[in-house]
Chain A
Amino acid sequence: MRKILFFLTFALMVLATWMTLFYAPTEVVMGHVQRIFYFHMGTVWAATVAFTVVFVASIYYLVKETAKWDTLAYCSAEIGMLLLTLTIITGSIWAKPVWGTWWTWDPQLTTTFILWVLYAVYLVLRSGAGGRGKKARYSAIFAIIAYVDLPVVYVSARIKRGISPVVFGPGGGGIDPAMMHTLLVTLLGFTLLFVLLLGERMRIMNMENALYARSGRGG
Protein backbone atom coordinates (compact mmCIF):
# COMPACT_ATOMS: atom_id res chain seq x y z
CA MET A 1 0.00 0.00 0.00
CA ARG A 2 2.79 2.39 0.94
CA LYS A 3 4.72 1.47 -2.17
CA ILE A 4 1.73 1.93 -4.45
CA LEU A 5 1.03 5.34 -2.95
CA PHE A 6 4.68 6.30 -3.29
CA PHE A 7 4.91 5.40 -6.97
CA LEU A 8 1.53 6.95 -7.75
CA THR A 9 2.58 10.21 -6.11
CA PHE A 10 5.94 10.15 -7.85
CA ALA A 11 4.35 9.57 -11.26
CA LEU A 12 1.76 12.27 -10.73
CA MET A 13 4.30 14.85 -9.55
CA VAL A 14 6.51 14.16 -12.56
CA LEU A 15 3.48 14.44 -14.83
CA ALA A 16 2.43 17.67 -13.10
CA THR A 17 5.90 19.15 -13.53
CA TRP A 18 5.93 18.19 -17.22
CA MET A 19 2.45 19.58 -17.81
CA THR A 20 3.29 22.78 -15.98
CA LEU A 21 6.41 23.37 -18.05
CA PHE A 22 5.41 22.07 -21.50
CA TYR A 23 1.73 21.11 -21.79
CA ALA A 24 0.05 24.24 -20.42
CA PRO A 25 -0.06 27.15 -22.87
CA THR A 26 1.85 30.31 -22.05
CA GLU A 27 -0.31 32.95 -20.48
CA VAL A 28 -0.68 35.97 -22.77
CA VAL A 29 -0.14 38.83 -20.35
CA MET A 30 2.08 37.35 -17.64
CA GLY A 31 4.18 35.02 -19.78
CA HIS A 32 6.13 32.08 -18.37
CA VAL A 33 6.01 33.41 -14.82
CA GLN A 34 2.40 32.34 -14.65
CA ARG A 35 3.48 28.68 -14.74
CA ILE A 36 4.52 28.85 -11.10
CA PHE A 37 0.86 29.34 -10.36
CA TYR A 38 0.10 25.64 -10.76
CA PHE A 39 2.45 24.75 -7.93
CA HIS A 40 1.28 27.76 -5.97
CA MET A 41 -2.30 26.50 -6.19
CA GLY A 42 -1.17 22.95 -5.47
CA THR A 43 0.63 23.87 -2.24
CA VAL A 44 -2.09 26.20 -0.99
CA TRP A 45 -4.72 23.54 -1.69
CA ALA A 46 -2.76 20.85 0.12
CA ALA A 47 -2.09 23.25 3.01
CA THR A 48 -5.82 23.90 3.30
CA VAL A 49 -6.48 20.16 3.38
CA ALA A 50 -3.76 19.79 6.02
CA PHE A 51 -5.26 22.41 8.31
CA THR A 52 -8.73 20.99 7.89
CA VAL A 53 -7.30 17.64 8.97
CA VAL A 54 -5.77 19.36 12.03
CA PHE A 55 -9.15 20.87 12.87
CA VAL A 56 -11.11 17.63 12.55
CA ALA A 57 -8.45 15.58 14.36
CA SER A 58 -8.42 18.13 17.20
CA ILE A 59 -12.16 17.83 17.67
CA TYR A 60 -11.86 14.05 17.70
CA TYR A 61 -9.04 14.26 20.21
CA LEU A 62 -11.08 16.38 22.62
CA VAL A 63 -14.01 14.00 22.39
CA LYS A 64 -12.18 10.66 22.39
CA GLU A 65 -8.88 11.56 24.09
CA THR A 66 -6.91 8.90 22.24
CA ALA A 67 -3.31 9.70 21.37
CA LYS A 68 -3.58 8.77 17.71
CA TRP A 69 -5.79 11.78 16.94
CA ASP A 70 -3.24 14.05 18.57
CA THR A 71 -0.46 12.48 16.51
CA LEU A 72 -2.51 12.98 13.36
CA ALA A 73 -3.20 16.64 14.19
CA TYR A 74 0.44 17.38 15.01
CA CYS A 75 1.91 15.70 11.93
CA SER A 76 -0.65 17.33 9.68
CA ALA A 77 0.11 20.76 11.16
CA GLU A 78 3.82 20.30 10.52
CA ILE A 79 3.31 19.38 6.89
CA GLY A 80 0.72 22.11 6.46
CA MET A 81 3.24 24.61 7.77
CA LEU A 82 5.79 23.44 5.19
CA LEU A 83 3.26 23.62 2.36
CA LEU A 84 2.07 27.06 3.40
CA THR A 85 5.63 28.35 3.52
CA LEU A 86 6.07 27.08 -0.05
CA THR A 87 2.81 28.80 -0.99
CA ILE A 88 4.05 32.12 0.30
CA ILE A 89 7.43 31.72 -1.43
CA THR A 90 5.95 30.75 -4.82
CA GLY A 91 3.37 33.51 -4.47
CA SER A 92 6.11 36.06 -3.81
CA ILE A 93 8.11 34.91 -6.83
CA TRP A 94 5.00 35.33 -8.94
CA ALA A 95 4.04 38.67 -7.43
CA LYS A 96 7.37 40.39 -7.97
CA PRO A 97 7.19 40.60 -11.80
CA VAL A 98 3.38 40.80 -12.00
CA TRP A 99 2.48 43.19 -9.19
CA GLY A 100 5.93 44.72 -8.92
CA THR A 101 6.28 43.83 -5.25
CA TRP A 102 7.20 40.79 -3.19
CA TRP A 103 4.48 41.39 -0.70
CA THR A 104 1.34 43.44 -0.22
CA TRP A 105 -1.34 43.44 2.47
CA ASP A 106 -4.26 42.32 0.39
CA PRO A 107 -6.96 40.15 2.07
CA GLN A 108 -5.75 36.79 0.76
CA LEU A 109 -2.13 37.52 1.61
CA THR A 110 -3.04 38.87 5.02
CA THR A 111 -5.13 35.79 5.77
CA THR A 112 -2.38 33.47 4.55
CA PHE A 113 0.15 35.28 6.69
CA ILE A 114 -2.09 35.06 9.78
CA LEU A 115 -2.70 31.37 9.07
CA TRP A 116 1.06 30.87 8.96
CA VAL A 117 1.50 32.74 12.26
CA LEU A 118 -1.34 30.80 13.89
CA TYR A 119 0.25 27.48 13.09
CA ALA A 120 3.67 28.75 14.11
CA VAL A 121 2.06 29.55 17.48
CA TYR A 122 0.47 26.09 17.44
CA LEU A 123 3.91 24.51 17.14
CA VAL A 124 5.38 26.82 19.81
CA LEU A 125 2.50 25.96 22.12
CA ARG A 126 3.25 22.28 21.66
CA SER A 127 6.87 22.71 22.57
CA GLY A 128 6.13 24.95 25.53
CA ALA A 129 3.00 23.46 27.07
CA GLY A 130 4.42 20.94 29.49
CA GLY A 131 3.16 17.40 30.06
CA ARG A 132 1.98 15.14 27.31
CA GLY A 133 -1.75 15.20 27.94
CA LYS A 134 -1.73 18.93 28.51
CA LYS A 135 0.21 19.52 25.31
CA ALA A 136 -2.29 17.53 23.28
CA ARG A 137 -5.35 19.12 24.85
CA TYR A 138 -4.16 22.71 24.72
CA SER A 139 -2.99 22.50 21.15
CA ALA A 140 -6.26 20.84 20.11
CA ILE A 141 -8.23 23.68 21.69
CA PHE A 142 -6.02 26.28 20.04
CA ALA A 143 -6.32 24.58 16.65
CA ILE A 144 -10.11 24.61 16.82
CA ILE A 145 -10.27 28.29 17.78
CA ALA A 146 -7.69 29.19 15.13
CA TYR A 147 -9.61 27.38 12.41
CA VAL A 148 -12.83 29.18 13.33
CA ASP A 149 -10.94 32.47 13.54
CA LEU A 150 -9.61 32.28 10.01
CA PRO A 151 -12.80 33.07 8.04
CA VAL A 152 -13.39 36.03 10.35
CA VAL A 153 -9.86 37.26 9.63
CA TYR A 154 -10.55 36.93 5.92
CA VAL A 155 -13.85 38.82 6.10
CA SER A 156 -12.35 41.61 8.19
CA ALA A 157 -9.35 41.89 5.88
CA ARG A 158 -11.74 42.17 2.95
CA ILE A 159 -13.02 45.47 4.27
CA LYS A 160 -10.13 46.85 2.29
CA ARG A 161 -10.37 45.82 -1.36
CA GLY A 162 -7.88 43.25 -2.59
CA ILE A 163 -5.86 42.61 -5.74
CA SER A 164 -5.30 38.84 -5.62
CA PRO A 165 -6.68 37.26 -8.78
CA VAL A 166 -10.07 35.55 -8.53
CA VAL A 167 -9.97 32.85 -11.18
CA PHE A 168 -13.12 30.90 -10.39
CA GLY A 169 -16.60 31.84 -9.34
CA PRO A 170 -18.43 35.10 -10.07
CA GLY A 171 -16.08 37.73 -11.43
CA GLY A 172 -13.49 35.15 -12.46
CA GLY A 173 -12.20 35.05 -15.99
CA GLY A 174 -12.32 31.30 -16.62
CA ILE A 175 -9.32 29.49 -18.09
CA ASP A 176 -8.08 27.51 -21.06
CA PRO A 177 -8.92 23.75 -20.94
CA ALA A 178 -5.24 22.79 -21.15
CA MET A 179 -4.53 25.01 -18.16
CA MET A 180 -7.45 23.42 -16.34
CA HIS A 181 -6.04 19.91 -16.97
CA THR A 182 -2.65 20.98 -15.69
CA LEU A 183 -4.20 22.52 -12.61
CA LEU A 184 -6.27 19.43 -11.82
CA VAL A 185 -3.29 17.09 -12.18
CA THR A 186 -1.19 19.38 -9.97
CA LEU A 187 -3.89 19.55 -7.29
CA LEU A 188 -4.28 15.79 -7.28
CA GLY A 189 -0.50 15.35 -7.18
CA PHE A 190 -0.11 17.62 -4.19
CA THR A 191 -3.03 15.98 -2.39
CA LEU A 192 -1.35 12.59 -2.78
CA LEU A 193 1.98 14.09 -1.74
CA PHE A 194 0.34 15.39 1.40
CA VAL A 195 -1.19 11.99 2.20
CA LEU A 196 2.15 10.29 1.59
CA LEU A 197 4.10 12.72 3.78
CA LEU A 198 1.45 12.51 6.48
CA GLY A 199 1.65 8.73 6.55
CA GLU A 200 5.45 8.76 6.75
CA ARG A 201 5.52 11.47 9.42
CA MET A 202 3.05 9.57 11.54
CA ARG A 203 5.10 6.40 11.21
CA ILE A 204 8.18 8.25 12.45
CA MET A 205 6.16 9.84 15.25
CA ASN A 206 4.82 6.48 16.37
CA MET A 207 8.34 5.04 16.37
CA GLU A 208 9.50 8.00 18.45
CA ASN A 209 6.70 7.46 20.93
CA ALA A 210 7.47 3.75 21.15
CA LEU A 211 11.13 4.54 21.84
CA TYR A 212 10.25 7.06 24.53
CA ALA A 213 7.89 4.56 26.10
CA ARG A 214 10.66 1.95 26.14
CA SER A 215 13.27 4.27 27.63
CA GLY A 216 10.76 5.36 30.22
CA ARG A 217 10.78 9.07 29.41
CA GLY A 218 7.53 10.76 28.43
CA GLY A 219 7.81 12.77 25.21
Chain B
Amino acid sequence: MRNILLIFRKDFLVEWRSKQIFPTMFVFSLLLLLVFNVAFEFRSDVDSRAVSAVIWITFIFSGLLALGRSFSLEKENNAFAFLLLTPVSRSYIYLGKLLSNVVMVLLSELFILPLFLLFFLFDASGVSFSLTGTVLPFLGVVFLGTIGFVSLGTFFSSMALNTKLRDMMLPLLVFPLIIPVVITSVGICSSILEGRPPDYYSFSLQVLVSFDIIFILLCSLLFEYLIEDSGD
Protein backbone atom coordinates (compact mmCIF):
# COMPACT_ATOMS: atom_id res chain seq x y z
CA MET B 1 0.00 0.00 0.00
CA ARG B 2 2.84 2.36 0.92
CA ASN B 3 4.55 1.61 -2.39
CA ILE B 4 1.44 2.42 -4.35
CA LEU B 5 1.16 5.74 -2.56
CA LEU B 6 4.83 6.53 -3.20
CA ILE B 7 4.42 6.05 -6.95
CA PHE B 8 1.26 8.09 -6.82
CA ARG B 9 3.07 10.87 -4.98
CA LYS B 10 5.92 10.85 -7.51
CA ASP B 11 3.57 11.12 -10.49
CA PHE B 12 1.52 13.76 -8.86
CA LEU B 13 4.57 15.88 -8.01
CA VAL B 14 5.86 15.60 -11.58
CA GLU B 15 2.51 16.75 -12.87
CA TRP B 16 2.18 19.47 -10.26
CA ARG B 17 5.50 20.98 -11.27
CA SER B 18 5.42 20.47 -15.01
CA LYS B 19 1.69 21.10 -15.52
CA GLN B 20 1.58 19.21 -18.81
CA ILE B 21 -1.27 16.76 -18.68
CA PHE B 22 -3.88 18.60 -16.73
CA PRO B 23 -4.17 21.82 -18.79
CA THR B 24 -3.96 19.85 -22.04
CA MET B 25 -6.81 17.61 -20.97
CA PHE B 26 -8.90 20.51 -19.83
CA VAL B 27 -8.48 22.52 -23.02
CA PHE B 28 -9.02 19.43 -25.15
CA SER B 29 -12.27 18.67 -23.34
CA LEU B 30 -13.35 22.24 -23.81
CA LEU B 31 -12.68 22.03 -27.54
CA LEU B 32 -14.60 18.77 -27.82
CA LEU B 33 -17.47 20.44 -26.05
CA LEU B 34 -17.38 23.26 -28.52
CA VAL B 35 -17.31 20.86 -31.45
CA PHE B 36 -20.29 18.92 -30.10
CA ASN B 37 -22.17 22.12 -29.49
CA VAL B 38 -21.62 23.32 -33.02
CA ALA B 39 -22.24 19.93 -34.59
CA PHE B 40 -25.46 19.16 -32.77
CA GLU B 41 -26.75 22.71 -32.49
CA PHE B 42 -27.81 21.90 -28.98
CA ARG B 43 -30.57 24.10 -27.81
CA SER B 44 -32.83 23.82 -24.84
CA ASP B 45 -34.62 20.76 -26.21
CA VAL B 46 -31.73 18.43 -25.46
CA ASP B 47 -32.14 14.73 -24.97
CA SER B 48 -30.62 13.36 -21.76
CA ARG B 49 -29.28 10.35 -23.65
CA ALA B 50 -27.39 12.58 -26.09
CA VAL B 51 -25.99 14.70 -23.26
CA SER B 52 -24.73 11.61 -21.43
CA ALA B 53 -23.16 10.32 -24.61
CA VAL B 54 -21.42 13.64 -25.23
CA ILE B 55 -20.14 13.73 -21.66
CA TRP B 56 -18.67 10.25 -21.85
CA ILE B 57 -17.16 10.66 -25.28
CA THR B 58 -15.44 13.80 -24.03
CA PHE B 59 -14.21 12.07 -20.87
CA ILE B 60 -12.87 9.05 -22.68
CA PHE B 61 -11.15 10.94 -25.50
CA SER B 62 -9.48 13.46 -23.24
CA GLY B 63 -8.70 10.74 -20.71
CA LEU B 64 -6.90 8.58 -23.24
CA LEU B 65 -4.90 11.61 -24.34
CA ALA B 66 -3.69 12.06 -20.78
CA LEU B 67 -2.93 8.36 -20.37
CA GLY B 68 -0.76 8.29 -23.47
CA ARG B 69 1.21 11.18 -22.00
CA SER B 70 1.60 9.62 -18.59
CA PHE B 71 3.73 6.76 -19.87
CA SER B 72 5.66 8.70 -22.49
CA LEU B 73 6.87 10.91 -19.62
CA GLU B 74 8.41 7.78 -18.11
CA LYS B 75 10.16 7.09 -21.39
CA GLU B 76 12.15 10.32 -21.23
CA ASN B 77 15.55 9.76 -19.66
CA ASN B 78 14.61 6.10 -19.38
CA ALA B 79 12.81 6.81 -16.13
CA PHE B 80 10.68 3.72 -16.40
CA ALA B 81 13.71 1.45 -16.36
CA PHE B 82 14.68 2.93 -13.02
CA LEU B 83 11.17 2.57 -11.73
CA LEU B 84 11.40 -1.12 -12.58
CA LEU B 85 14.66 -1.39 -10.67
CA THR B 86 12.90 -0.57 -7.42
CA PRO B 87 12.40 -3.70 -5.32
CA VAL B 88 8.64 -3.61 -5.63
CA SER B 89 6.24 -6.10 -7.17
CA ARG B 90 5.24 -5.08 -10.70
CA SER B 91 1.59 -5.16 -9.72
CA TYR B 92 2.20 -2.31 -7.28
CA ILE B 93 3.78 -0.24 -10.02
CA TYR B 94 0.65 -0.74 -12.10
CA LEU B 95 -1.63 0.08 -9.19
CA GLY B 96 0.38 3.19 -8.38
CA LYS B 97 0.21 4.41 -11.96
CA LEU B 98 -3.48 3.58 -12.02
CA LEU B 99 -4.12 5.59 -8.87
CA SER B 100 -2.30 8.66 -10.13
CA ASN B 101 -4.00 8.45 -13.53
CA VAL B 102 -7.46 8.04 -12.01
CA VAL B 103 -6.93 11.02 -9.73
CA MET B 104 -5.64 13.19 -12.56
CA VAL B 105 -8.42 12.25 -14.98
CA LEU B 106 -11.07 12.63 -12.28
CA LEU B 107 -9.79 16.07 -11.33
CA SER B 108 -10.02 17.38 -14.85
CA GLU B 109 -13.46 15.80 -15.24
CA LEU B 110 -14.59 17.65 -12.13
CA PHE B 111 -13.47 20.89 -13.71
CA ILE B 112 -15.19 20.18 -16.98
CA LEU B 113 -18.52 19.03 -15.51
CA PRO B 114 -19.74 22.48 -14.41
CA LEU B 115 -19.11 23.72 -17.94
CA PHE B 116 -21.29 20.92 -19.26
CA LEU B 117 -23.96 22.05 -16.90
CA LEU B 118 -23.61 25.56 -18.22
CA PHE B 119 -23.63 24.64 -21.91
CA PHE B 120 -26.04 21.75 -22.10
CA LEU B 121 -28.22 21.40 -19.05
CA PHE B 122 -28.64 24.98 -17.93
CA ASP B 123 -32.00 25.43 -19.55
CA ALA B 124 -32.78 21.79 -20.31
CA SER B 125 -36.38 20.98 -19.67
CA GLY B 126 -37.37 18.04 -17.50
CA VAL B 127 -34.09 17.80 -15.64
CA SER B 128 -34.38 18.56 -11.97
CA PHE B 129 -31.36 18.90 -9.75
CA SER B 130 -31.14 17.74 -6.21
CA LEU B 131 -27.99 16.93 -4.27
CA THR B 132 -28.87 13.38 -3.26
CA GLY B 133 -31.09 12.52 -6.20
CA THR B 134 -28.97 13.70 -9.11
CA VAL B 135 -25.60 15.17 -8.25
CA LEU B 136 -24.15 12.53 -5.94
CA PRO B 137 -25.25 9.47 -7.98
CA PHE B 138 -23.99 11.18 -11.10
CA LEU B 139 -20.58 11.82 -9.56
CA GLY B 140 -20.53 8.23 -8.35
CA VAL B 141 -21.04 6.93 -11.87
CA VAL B 142 -18.37 9.29 -13.19
CA PHE B 143 -16.02 7.87 -10.56
CA LEU B 144 -16.76 4.20 -11.39
CA GLY B 145 -16.75 4.70 -15.16
CA THR B 146 -13.46 6.58 -14.99
CA ILE B 147 -11.86 3.77 -13.00
CA GLY B 148 -13.16 1.38 -15.66
CA PHE B 149 -11.62 3.00 -18.70
CA VAL B 150 -8.47 4.23 -16.94
CA SER B 151 -7.68 0.72 -15.66
CA LEU B 152 -7.43 -0.64 -19.19
CA GLY B 153 -6.07 2.64 -20.55
CA THR B 154 -3.16 2.70 -18.10
CA PHE B 155 -2.34 -0.91 -18.88
CA PHE B 156 -2.41 -0.53 -22.64
CA SER B 157 -0.68 2.85 -22.79
CA SER B 158 2.44 1.15 -21.47
CA MET B 159 2.00 -1.51 -24.15
CA ALA B 160 1.22 0.91 -26.98
CA LEU B 161 4.30 3.03 -26.32
CA ASN B 162 6.53 0.04 -26.87
CA THR B 163 5.01 -0.88 -30.23
CA LYS B 164 6.07 0.46 -33.60
CA LEU B 165 2.81 2.34 -34.05
CA ARG B 166 3.11 4.05 -30.62
CA ASP B 167 0.24 6.44 -29.83
CA MET B 168 -1.74 5.20 -32.80
CA MET B 169 -2.12 1.87 -31.08
CA LEU B 170 -3.68 3.04 -27.80
CA PRO B 171 -7.21 3.91 -28.96
CA LEU B 172 -7.25 0.83 -31.16
CA LEU B 173 -6.52 -1.40 -28.20
CA VAL B 174 -8.70 0.32 -25.65
CA PHE B 175 -11.90 1.34 -27.45
CA PRO B 176 -13.28 -2.11 -28.25
CA LEU B 177 -12.49 -3.34 -24.76
CA ILE B 178 -14.23 -0.54 -22.87
CA ILE B 179 -17.54 -0.92 -24.68
CA PRO B 180 -19.22 -2.21 -21.48
CA VAL B 181 -18.13 0.93 -19.63
CA VAL B 182 -19.56 3.11 -22.37
CA ILE B 183 -22.88 1.25 -22.51
CA THR B 184 -23.42 1.16 -18.76
CA SER B 185 -22.09 4.63 -17.89
CA VAL B 186 -24.06 6.43 -20.58
CA GLY B 187 -27.16 4.41 -19.70
CA ILE B 188 -26.95 5.13 -15.99
CA CYS B 189 -26.14 8.82 -16.48
CA SER B 190 -29.11 9.37 -18.74
CA SER B 191 -31.39 7.47 -16.32
CA ILE B 192 -30.20 9.72 -13.51
CA LEU B 193 -30.79 12.85 -15.56
CA GLU B 194 -34.28 11.62 -16.37
CA GLY B 195 -34.86 11.28 -12.65
CA ARG B 196 -35.49 7.54 -12.59
CA PRO B 197 -35.28 5.55 -9.32
CA PRO B 198 -32.06 3.58 -8.57
CA ASP B 199 -33.83 0.24 -9.18
CA TYR B 200 -34.05 1.17 -12.82
CA TYR B 201 -30.29 1.12 -13.35
CA SER B 202 -29.07 -1.15 -10.55
CA PHE B 203 -28.22 -3.93 -13.01
CA SER B 204 -26.07 -1.62 -15.14
CA LEU B 205 -24.38 -0.49 -11.96
CA GLN B 206 -23.55 -4.08 -11.03
CA VAL B 207 -22.07 -4.67 -14.48
CA LEU B 208 -19.97 -1.50 -14.20
CA VAL B 209 -18.62 -2.39 -10.76
CA SER B 210 -17.82 -5.95 -11.88
CA PHE B 211 -16.00 -4.55 -14.91
CA ASP B 212 -13.85 -2.36 -12.65
CA ILE B 213 -12.98 -5.21 -10.30
CA ILE B 214 -12.31 -7.79 -13.03
CA PHE B 215 -10.00 -5.60 -15.06
CA ILE B 216 -8.06 -4.05 -12.20
CA LEU B 217 -7.29 -7.56 -10.97
CA LEU B 218 -6.52 -8.95 -14.43
CA CYS B 219 -4.34 -6.01 -15.45
CA SER B 220 -2.30 -6.02 -12.24
CA LEU B 221 -1.80 -9.76 -12.73
CA LEU B 222 -0.70 -9.43 -16.35
CA PHE B 223 1.40 -6.28 -15.89
CA GLU B 224 4.39 -8.39 -14.94
CA TYR B 225 4.33 -10.11 -18.35
CA LEU B 226 3.77 -6.84 -20.13
CA ILE B 227 6.97 -5.13 -19.02
CA GLU B 228 9.27 -8.12 -18.72
CA ASP B 229 11.89 -6.58 -20.99
CA SER B 230 11.00 -3.28 -22.58
CA GLY B 231 14.31 -3.36 -24.36
CA ASP B 232 13.60 -5.29 -27.53
Kindly list chain B residues whose C-beta atoms are within 8 Å of the C-beta of A148.
214-215, 218
* A156-B152 in contact (CB<8A): no
Q: Is there an interface contact between B169 and A130, defined as CB atoms closer than 8 Å?
A: no
Q: Which residue of A lies closest to B185 (CB)?
A: A156
Q: Which chain A residues numbered 126 to 173 have a C-beta less than 8 Å away from chain B? A: 128-131, 133-134, 137-138, 140-142, 144-146, 148-149, 152-153, 155-157, 159
A99-138: which have CB < 8 Å to B?
114, 117-118, 121, 124-125, 128-131, 133-134, 137-138
Q: How far in angstroms is the closest Cβ of chain B from A87?
A: 18
* B183, A157: Cβ atoms closer than 8 Å: yes
> Residue B207 contacts which of A117, A133, A146, A159 (CB distance < 8 angstroms)?
A159
In the complex, chain B residues whose CB is within 8 Å of the CB of A146: 176-177
Are A128's CB and B163's CB within 8 A? yes
Across-interface contacts of B184 in A (CB, < 8 A)? 156, 159
Q: Once the chains are docked, how many angstroms separate the CA of A130 from the CA of B210?
A: 33
Tally of chain A residues near chain B (CB < 8 A): 29
> Is the CB of B225 closer than 8 A to any CB of chain A?
yes
A142's partner among B165, B168, B173, B183 (CB-CB below 8 A) is B173
Q: A125-B163, A128-B169, A131-B232 are in contact. Are A141 and B204 (CB under 8 A)?
A: no
Closest B residue to A128 by CB, please name it: B165
Q: How many residues of B contact A (CB 8 A)?
A: 33
Q: Which residues of B contact A157 (CB under 8 A)?
A: 183
Contact of B204 among A134, A152, A153, A156 (CB under 8 A): A156
Does any Cβ of B come within 8 Å of A202's Cβ? no
Cα A55 to Cα B155 with chains together (Å): 19
> Is B129 interfacial (CB-CB < 8 Å)?
no
How distant is A55 from chain B, measured CB to nearest CB, in Å? 13
Q: Which residues of B are found within 8 Å of A134, using beta-carbon distances?
A: 162-163, 232
A159 touches B210 (CB 8 A): no
Looking at the complex, which one of A121, A128, A140 makes contact with B176 (CB distance below 8 Å)? Answer: A121
Contacts from A to B (Cβ < 8 Å): 62, 114, 117-118, 121, 124-125, 128-131, 133-134, 137-138, 140-142, 144-146, 148-149, 152-153, 155-157, 159
Pairs A–B under 8 Å by Cβ, sample size 22 = A121-B172, A121-B173, A121-B176, A125-B173, A128-B163, A128-B164, A129-B164, A130-B163, A137-B226, A138-B162, A140-B225, A142-B159, A145-B152, A145-B215, A145-B219, A146-B177, A149-B177, A152-B180, A152-B207, A152-B214, A156-B179, A159-B187
Given A138-B162, A149-B180, output 14 extra A-B contacts at Cβ < 8 Å.
A62-B222, A114-B176, A117-B176, A125-B172, A130-B162, A134-B163, A138-B163, A142-B173, A145-B152, A146-B176, A148-B214, A149-B177, A152-B214, A156-B180
